[in-house]
Every structure is written in structure tokens, then in C-alpha cells.
Structure 1
Amino acid sequence: MMNPKVSFIVPVYNVPDIFLNTCITSILKQTESSIEVLLIDDGSTDGSGCICDTFAKKDNRIKVIHQPNKGLSGARNTGVKNASGEYITFVDGDDWVEADLISSLLPKQREDIVIGKIVKNYPNKEKYYRYSMADGQKFNKNDQIDLQKQILNFNGNISAVYGKLINREYLFKNNIFHNEDLSQGAEGIEFNFRLFQSISTGIFIDRYVYHYVYNAESITTTPSQKNMILALRCFEKIQENIESNLKYSEAVRKLLLQSLNDRILYFIVTTAMSSIFNPKNGIPYTDKKNQLMKFMKNKTINMSFKNGDRSEIGIQRKIILLLIKFRLFSIINLLGKIKK
């Protein structure tokens, strides 16, 4: 087989059978046949690795790599380093893709990045992400800062690593890989911030191609202090990037730091409601309160809480931020129970 046009990279770690089967099957249904599928079994302890092997025996476009657990970032990097396609695209093992993802996004001329659109699938409804870009809109190096601002914009919807085609040569040339110390949380935002830092050519395609499936049992939806800390490190890493990058003028640095402050306000609300005061978090109320107070004392969090722009934030999130400001933690705790 000649080098494929696109390599699908699918990290797999203890993915429920129904999700993993749907994911792999959707990839194999691509209308563009010149693909390879790299299933990275990242130390699964259930039957996920066996499912991957079963698919590989039936379709020679599939390669399975079994490795000790490295986390999501490490698994994605393994995929990139073993891919042979001109472009790569990331797919999480519990998500699925449209059959025309490749035929819709594959560019006629070389692009560093091609951006498609994402649907979020809940059990009883779908949320179609909205985008401010026009179909066929092109990007070049003059758009780098604007794209990085969109990465940090909570409503920009281009911060996920999936739903895109990324030129593999572009990644290696600019040494853009996932930071394996940031294995969970906001690792995709940090990766994409660097991804768009060097872009010379890119295009947006107005086509919903990727389905992000809400899984109530997934790592990202299960309260975890470890994941909270990892997500915080991602934002701290972006802050370090902005403050130390010599290519930024002082005006640009100020602009990006403000965008980061604004984005972290959403992270503060999510941490309070979906992590610390989530009823699934079984620790006592006093410990929850102390955990949030400690979180708010973090330098990056505290700076964003003071300087973030609340004007574009919805009323519900504004209320949570006010409750945090006045330390009305019992009300946050009650709202957490009502929400769930």
C-alpha cells in the first residue's frame, strides 16, 4: 500500500465496547479509501486491546500499537510518530466521525491545518458547535494571533484537537507534539495554542464531520483533583508560553494574556460546579470548601479571577463567580446537587 493520504490516530484506554466499536466502524466507512488507522492501546486493562486486534485482523488499513500507559498525550504522540499519511487526524476512542470527514476536509493544495466542525452528542440531544468563520476561509501567518485568540475563546470552538486535518510534515518541522506532562485536562488547548503559533496556510470547511460523545463515565466527566490540577497546569503552560515568547510584541502579549484570563473564568466555574461541588465528589462539604479556596489562591487563577472580562459570560456563570467572590460555598454546593 502506498503512503495513505490521512492517518487516523485513535488513543484507546479502557473504552466501553459499544463506543469503541462505533468509533472504529465509523472510520472504516470513510468514502476516501486512502487512509490508515492507528489504534494506540495505551495500557488498557479491559478488553479494549483485544477489540483493536480483532478489527486489525479484518482490515489491513488498521495498525494496532500496544504500549504501557502513557496517558492521552503520550498515546497521541505515539500515533503521530508511527503515522505515514500526509495528514493526520485525531479521534478519541469513544467518539465517531462522519463517513465523508476525509473527502470533505482533504485540501486540493497543501495546507498546514484544515478545520472542520464538531457536534456534541448527548444521550437525548445534539449540540452543533457554532463557528465565526466562513466556508473556505483561508488563513496565513498574519492570522496566527487571531487564531490563538480563538483557541482561548470558550465559544470559539476550535480548541479541540479533533475535527481537523493536520499536515504531518508541519508537525515534525516545527516540533509540535503533545506535552506528555499534561496528559489530561486542557491538553488539547495547550497543544492547539502551539499548533497555530507557526501556521502559514490553513482553511476552514463549513461541514460537521466529528461527533464528540458525552460519556458520563469518562475521565473528563468524573470529578478528580488530579485532573483539575492537570488542567490548571495546561493553562499555566500557555501563560508561560505567552510571557516568554520573544516573537510577541508587548501589545500582542497583553492581548493574549487577557484572552487567557477570560478563558480561565470558564475553567473556574467548571472546576467549582463540575468537579469540586459535583455530587459525585464524595468528600465532605468542608473539604470541598477548603479545596476550592486553595484552588482560588493559585497565582494564575487569582489573576484571571481579578482581571478576566465577565461581559461576554452568561448569567449563570456570572452568578457562580459572584458566589465564589463572596464565599457563599453552601449555595454552590446546593446548585451542584440541583444541576446533577
Structure 2
Amino acid sequence: MNPKVSFVVPVYNVPDKFLNNCIISILKQTEANIEVLLIDDGSTDNSGDICDIFSKKDNRISVIHQHNKGLSGARNTGVRNARGKYITFVDGDDWVEPDLVESLLPSSQVDVVIGKIVKDFPNRKKYYQYEMTDGKFFSENDRVLLQKQILNFQGNISTVCGKLINREYLIKNAIYHDEKLSQGAEGIEFNFRLFELINSSIFVDRYIYHYVYDTESITTNPSQKNVALALQCFEKIQISIQNNLIYTENMRESLLQSLNTRLLYFIVTTAISSIFNPKNSSSYREKKDSLKKFMKNRLIDTAFRNGDKSKVGTQRQIILSFIKFHLFYAINILGKLK
């Protein structure tokens, strides 16, 4: 009998305590009929060995060792080797509640089930808020609505984690991660395509996934490469909106407006947490030049002019004003304070 759910876990140089906690949390599922695919993505530490040790203790675990392909490539390997009716993605340094499968597994076939996420900081937890009600069902007529929620920074459904995704739906529609976009905003781009063809989806009002915030993670340190990759993700979404014939003109305009507003958040994050991050060793002048160059990007310039600034909150509106009037010294101070 095939497993009900396949847990796809990309693993690349994950600190021991996080990886152990992740795998143990999955094995504690109240639903026993699962499989766990640990994708060792070319780890250079002992992460691969830890995966092998667990696989010898529990026959539900399979380990695939591969040359480094990045997060997206590891997830795709997992999807192609999964046997479960549903797939759920878990990053190797995160963990899940024991009733994830029990809470999310639908009684009848559904393309995607959406659960809720908690962000675990060292000394506190942030419970993501959602603009949906428990048991809310979405049909093919709600595709654009869901895509707008993915682009909505406050919607909190843009991550690939915390969901059950029907494996046949993924395979039939060839919905895989873009392996060129690893370590960017690949989850947003993947989800945008995921909900583009969806026929059924359900929201479950249950916190089942814990995203562990690691101050040393690649996503929490300033990186021009990560900014460029994220920009590529948003550019790909824009092209899809503009060129996809499934959208009416009103749908297209609505999605583009949502994208522009979402990019306002990206502009603020890039300015404060990347370019003017104190960990960025560039000189003040280099940081100014970098931000100016970033703002000249066609997609960013359009979003800056057309995005709905009233939806990003007072603090971000102030930062956007600093950018508009080239008050880089103020942005530099905020970067240090953050």
C-alpha cells in the first residue's frame, strides 16, 4: 500500500540539532502510513551520515545522496521519487507538529490543502495570520483570488511548506521548482504556478509547521546573489501574468497591481536587510550606488511608482519615502538599528 503522505526534506549542511529535531518531529506523526525522503544535496558535513543513521532505524525513511543542485533541485528530486498520494515539503532545519498529516489529510481528493505556519525565533514565536476561515473551499473559479493571496505579503500562503499537495496534480501538470531560482523567492514563483491550474483547495485553521529562524542562515545574511535571484522570481511571475492567455484583461490588471504592491515589501527588505545591513562590508558610497542601481530596474521602478503604498504599513511607507528622496543616511541608520 502506498503511503498517504510523502515528506520531502532537502538537506544541505544542516546543524545537527536542527536536522535531528526535524526528522524526529516527522517520525512522531500520529498517522503512521507515511514515507520520508531525505535528499542529501551534496552536504560537506555529517548531515548525510545523520540521514543514513535514521534510515537504518526506520524503514519509512529513504535517503537520496546527490550532487548539490540547490533547494529547488532537491525538492524536485523528492517529488520524482515520492510514492505518497500527497507531498509535503519540510526544510531540514524546520520541524512539524505530530498531527500535520492527521489535521491536513482531506477526506476526498483535493489538489492542495493549506495549513498554518509558526516562525520560531530564539526567544519567541510569531504565529502567522491568515485571511481565510477554517474549512474554506476554493474551486477553479478562485484561482486568481488564490494567486493574489500568494502575492499578498500579509496572506502568508506563499511558502511551499505547511501544505499537502496532490502528487498526481504536480506530475500531470509538470509543476516543478525552477532550479535556476534556488535561494531566491522560489517558493512564491512555484506557488504562483501551483495555483494557476488548481481545481480544488482547502484551508485548515491549524498551526502545523514551524519555520526556525537561524541568524546564520543564508537567507538571513545580506547577499547580492539572493536579491538577484528573488528579482528573477518576480520577473518570471510578471511575464506569466502578461503573456498567459487564461487571464482576462481585468484579471491581468488586478494581478499586476498585486505584484507591484508585493514588490514594495521587497524594495524595503532589500534596502534595509540586504544593501544597508551592517553585515554588508561594502562602503557607504557603494551601498548608495547599489540601491540606486537596484531602483533603476524596470520591474522595481514600475512597482515603486504604481504599487499601493497604503497597504505596506507606516514604517515601510517612511522607508519608501527615504528612498524616493535619496535620504540614504537615514536608511543606513535604520539598517544598523535593525
- TM-score computed with the length of structure 1 as normaliser: 0.99
Matched residue, 1:74: 73
Deviation at 1:309, TM superposition (A): 0.2
Deviation at 1:275, TM superposition (A): 0.6
1:330 is aligned to 2:329: yes
Per-residue displacement from partner, 1:23-77 (whole Å, max 9, x unpaired)?
A: 0010000000010000111111111111111111111111111111111111100
Per-residue displacement from partner, 1:90-134 (whole Å, max 9, x unpaired)?
A: 001110000000000000000000000000110111111111111
Name the CA distance, whole Å, in 1 between partners of 2:235 and 2:34.
36
Taking the TM superposition and a 5 Å limit, the aligned residue runs for 1:262-273 are 262-273=261-272
What letter is aligned with 1:281? N
Taking the TM superposition and a 5 Å limit, the aligned residue runs for 1:272-287 are 272-287=271-286
Matched residue, 2:117: 118
Name the CA distance, whole Å, in 2 between partners of 1:218 and 1:52.
20
Deviation at 1:246, TM superposition (A): 0.7
Matched residue, 1:182: 181
Matched residue, 1:140: 139
- TM-score computed with the length of structure 2 as normaliser: 0.99
Tell me, what secondary structure is at the counterpart of 1:84? coil
Deviation at 1:175, TM superposition (A): 1.0
Tell me, what secondary structure is at the counterpart of 1:37? strand
Matched residue, 2:259: 260
Name the CA distance, whole Å, in 1 between partners of 2:50 and 2:230.
30
Name the CA distance, whole Å, in 1 between partners of 2:55 and 2:285.
50
Deviation at 1:243, TM superposition (A): 0.5
1:230 is aligned to 2:229: yes
What letter is aligned with 1:108? S
Matched residue, 2:170: 171
Tell me, what secondary structure is at the counterpart of 2:303? helix
Name the CA distance, whole Å, in 2 between partners of 1:185 and 1:95.
18
Matched residue, 1:150: 149
Matched residue, 1:246: 245
Name the CA distance, whole Å, in 1 between partners of 2:10 and 2:283.
35
What letter is aligned with 2:159? A
Matched residue, 1:44: 43
Per-residue displacement from partner, 1:124-177 (whole Å, max 9, x unpaired)?
A: 111111111111111110000100000000000100000000000000111111
Matched residue, 1:83: 82
Stretches of structure 1 that go unaligned for 5 or more consecutive residues are: none
Stretches of structure 2 that go unaligned for 5 or more consecutive residues are: none
CA RMSD of aligned residues (A): 0.6
Tell me, what secondary structure is at the counterpart of 2:311? coil
Q: Which runs of 4+ in 1 moved over 2 A?
A: none
Name the CA distance, whole Å, in 1 between partners of 2:218 and 2:234.
19
Deviation at 1:312, TM superposition (A): 1.5
What letter is aligned with 2:7? F
What letter is aligned with 1:131? Y
Name the CA distance, whole Å, in 2 between partners of 1:223 and 1:43.
23
